[in-house]
């Protein structure tokens, strides 16, 4: 069994849930699509992101399975577009308070002074100038309400605002054929993502949470918010962004979590 599943609520029969979900999805596909789907497989995180449901207990699993049987179009899009949009929510659905999580406790979160902050950009990009916060605030900002899913067995809906990461990557002259974008953070955390996810329309260089500057505990001054990836792939307190063809893994990924970790 995949190591990351061991963090999901132990009362859940993971194998059973995934088998049921796969049966439901396969039923909606023709032969060649079914073959492709079964090869690709389904994870609990993928099921949660596909249905927009929290999959942390048995009753939520029931509703996720019920939803899947009525979502033929979405399943097709998920499998074949490569640009599936994660579900979005209304502001009234935001989880309050939004949980904090890291490999340390909240009072140990890095302290970063806004005025001193510099974002370094390296690797396969034309413009390697350092970025200050005012430079990032000057770019066109958008916001979105999406669900964050942590493999430790919780999920929560939050609102993040910032710069579409694709805009940022294009502005600095990124080689869009490069394989990876990797991140180093102000704590010991690091991660890396595939270029398709970096360019996904919902991937945000997030500077705000719920309309306010990103609080320290949620990654001040900047994090990458990807509703198509599980929580452990969403880096907080980013200090270095590198575009590269070298695999650089990640803090959790190097301990056995799935590197792709998303849809
Ligand atoms: N820099 C950094 N980023 C991180 C982590 C971390 O420990 N350090 N933890 C990850 C995990 S496992 C989760 S669930 C989310 C939690 O984000 P939140 O505190 O905004 O809920 O941050 C992710 N990004
Ligand atoms: Mo997490």
Domain spans in the chain, listed from the N-terminal domain onward? 14-79, 91-255
How many Å apart are CA 20 and CA 23, to the nearest integer? 5
Output b/e per residue, 198-228; b: 16+ Cβ within 10 A: bbbebbbbbbbbbeebbebbbbbbbbbbbbb
- Please identify, by atom number, the ligand 1 atom nearest to the C-alpha of residue 252: 12
pLDDT at residue 227, rounded to an integer = 94
Give the tokens for residue 191: 């991660």
pLDDT of 3 higher than 50: no
185 lines ligand 1 (CB under 6 A): yes
Q: Is the peptide bond before 94 cis (omega within 30 degrees of 0)?
A: no
Residue nearest to atom 14 of ligand 1 (CA): 231
Please give the class, per CATH, of domain 91-255.
Answer: alpha beta
Asked whether the whole model's pTM tops 0.85, one would answer no
- The confidence band for 61, taking pLDDT boundaries of 50, 70 and 90, is confident
- Please identify, by atom number, the ligand 1 atom nearest to the C-alpha of residue 187: 1
214 lines ligand 1 (CB under 6 A): no
Q: What is the mean pLDDT of residues 192-198?
A: 95
End-to-end CA distance of the chain: 19
100 lines ligand 1 (CB under 6 A): yes
pLDDT digits (tens, 9 = 90+) for 90-127: 999 999 999 999 999 999 999 999 999 999 999 999 99
Q: What is the mean pLDDT of the chain?
A: 87
261 lines ligand 1 (CB under 6 A): no
pLDDT of 14 higher than 50: yes
Query: How many CB atoms neighbour CB 160 within 10 A?
Result: 26
């Amino acid at each position: 069994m995949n190591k990351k599943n061991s963090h999901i609520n132990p009362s859940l029969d993971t194998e059973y849930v995934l088998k049921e979900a796969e049966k439901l999805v396969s039923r909606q596909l023709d032969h060649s699509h079914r073959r492709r789907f079964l090869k690709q497989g389904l994870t609990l995180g993928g099921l949660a992101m596909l249905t927009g449901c929290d999959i942390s207990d048995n009753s939520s699993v029931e509703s996720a399975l019920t939803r899947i049987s009525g979502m033929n179009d979405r399943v097709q899009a998920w499998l074949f577009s490569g640009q599936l949009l994660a579900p979005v929510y209304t502001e009234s659905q935001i989880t309050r308070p939004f949980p904090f999580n890291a490999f340390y406790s909240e009072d140990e979160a890095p302290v970063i002074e806004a005025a001193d902050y510099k974002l370094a950009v390296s690797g396969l990009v034309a413009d390697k100038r350092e970025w200050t916060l005012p430079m990032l605030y000057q770019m066109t900002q958008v916001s979105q309400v999406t669900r964050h899913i942590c493999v430790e067995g919780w999920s929560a809906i939050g609102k993040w605002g910032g710069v579409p990461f694709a805009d940022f990557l294009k502005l600095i002259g990124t080689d869009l054929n490069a394989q990876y974008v990797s991140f180093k953070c102000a704590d010991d955390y690091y991660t890396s993502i595939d270029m398709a996810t970096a360019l996904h329309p919902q991937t945000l260089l997030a500077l705000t949470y719920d309309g306010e500057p990103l609080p320290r505990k949620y990654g001040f001054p900047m994090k990458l918010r990807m509703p198509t990836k599980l929580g452990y792939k969403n880096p907080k307190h980013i200090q270095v962004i590198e575009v590269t063809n070298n695999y650089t893994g990640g803090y959790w990924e190097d301990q056995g979590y799935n590197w792709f970790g998303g849809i």
